Amino acid sequence: MALKHNISDPHPKKRKRVGFASTDDTGIDPNDCINIFAVKTADQVGSTNCLQIEPIDLNHFFGQDGKIYGYNGLQIDVWLSMLSFHAYVDVSFQSKCEGGKGVTDLEVPFKSIFGESLLDKEKFVQTFSKDHDYVRNIIADGEVVPLESSMKYSNSNSDNKDPSIEVTRLGMQNANAGLLYSRLVSLVLLLVDGANPIDVTDPRWEIYVAVKRSPENGLSNGKVEMLGFATVYHFFYYPDASRMRIGQILVLPPFQSQGYGRLLLEAINSVAISKNAHDITVEEPSEYLQYLRACMDAVRLLSYEPINPAISSVISFLKENNLSKCTAKPSTGPPASLVDQVRQNLKINRKQFLRCWEVLIYMNLVHENQRCMENFRLLISDRVKGEILNTEDGVKDTGKKIVEVPNDYDSDMSYVMFRSERGEVGDLGMGKNGGDEAKQEEQLKQLVEEELEEISNVVKKVSSLIS
């Protein structure tokens, strides 16, 4: 589960085409006939001149082949309240057509998305007055997470303190937390790729809610607007600690690209440190969430004094040696004691630290020094090879090997993993016995270039954050 980045365009979008079923009814793609709008006032209900939400994919809600059958001129508009998270669906069509696959029951998929939050238009409009204080009431019993002033900001380009923005932590033993998530789950299903709802009956889950408080009618504690949320699970870690795993994190569409995802992550970090959790992991993070975490943790590591001597040692080695001529693979990773210190004090797990370690090395390299840059490239190349062959630093070669097997059926299923009973890697047509070494080298080179680009992008962002 991961952070969906840049879901909606701030500029108005063209309306999607109305879906038409042909005479033999080949079906309508739901993504072509369904529009979802985020609304904050009753006046916006029924209007298409408001923020449009672009879901990941609607097909998997509509049967095995993901299509809608039995309608001519089908148009479905959905309005989702950003105040109470109820939904209203308006379905219009020119006619129904009884084809070979019948008429799709549209109530079933929308119930699977919105559940009890799905209302008719009259009740939906009433929620804007009836549930005006829904978020404020829900988080009233929660724990406000204390944050450093540098963590409070109003947009992604500013670290200025904004006391109106806060993060509240709610455990699932609090009934309000489960009620809130039951309404937010529709956003999770629509906007988080491969998402599955959490078990709100499990007290080991908790939800972090980022909100903004705004004065209203002269009252300082007036309007409370939700900006985003994250769910976190606590695993037992022997003998008396817990590991915190981020299950889902989502900034609401109206507030994306303003730094609130980072705010949620920093709040989770703050709790992990204050509660002395073992470390923090993320369940199936998206590429953007990986990038965001790498930027944040690299900034934190830059101010962690014990790391500086170790980084300086690696930089000196890369300046003075030529890795391509080394007969034995040099150790350029962080000392084990430092890995443990970082986990204990910053709650950054080993895998995440190793990712950030390369970022910190790249930041400190003399980029004009050709030897330095070539050595760093070789360092990344060795790491990528190790991941492919399962020979990461400190992990003994298991004898596993990934081998490409070209086929005409599915290009994504063009490899097998081989291991002999004695742990010896079989040739399977690779290497000197007929494998395409040139192609393998080209693929490795491409992977290394992609890794270097990712590291460079993180370094650019980190540099802008600390400047």
Residues designated catalytic:
283
Nearest to 244 by CA among 214, 270, 282, 192: 282
d(CA 109, CA 58): 9
**Which one-letter DSSP state was computed for residue 46?**
T
In angstroms, the Cα distances linking 115 to 40, 86, 142, 267 are 20, 10, 25, 30
Nearest to 188 by CA among 114, 270, 116: 114
Q: Show contacts of 90-93: CB within 8 Å, 24+ apart.
A: 90/46, 90/121
Q: Packing angle between helix 336-346 and helix 350-364, nearest 10 degrees?
A: 110
Return the structure tokens found at 316: 């000196």
Looking up tokens 């970082």 gives 342
Answer yes or no: are the C-beta atoms of 8 and 52 closer than 8 Å.
yes
Answer yes or no: are the C-beta atoms of 384 and 444 closer than 8 Å.
yes
d(CA 178, CA 181): 5
- DSSP β-ladder status, 118-119 and 87-92: parallel
d(CA 188, CA 388): 32
Count CB-CB contacts under 10 A for residue 373: 16
d(CA 8, CA 5): 9
d(CA 453, CA 459): 10
Answer yes or no: are the C-beta atoms of 348 and 342 closer than 8 Å.
yes
d(CA 136, CA 423): 59
d(CA 264, CA 299): 16
> Residue 61 class from Cβ within 10 Å (0-12 exposed, 13-18 middle, 19+ buried)?
middle
Answer yes or no: are the C-beta atoms of 212 and 266 closer than 8 Å.
no
Return the structure tokens found at 17: 């085409």
Count CB-CB contacts under 10 A for residue 52: 19
Helices vs strands, H then E, count in the chain = 12, 15
d(CA 254, CA 448): 36
Nearest to 32 by CA among 48, 55, 49, 10: 55
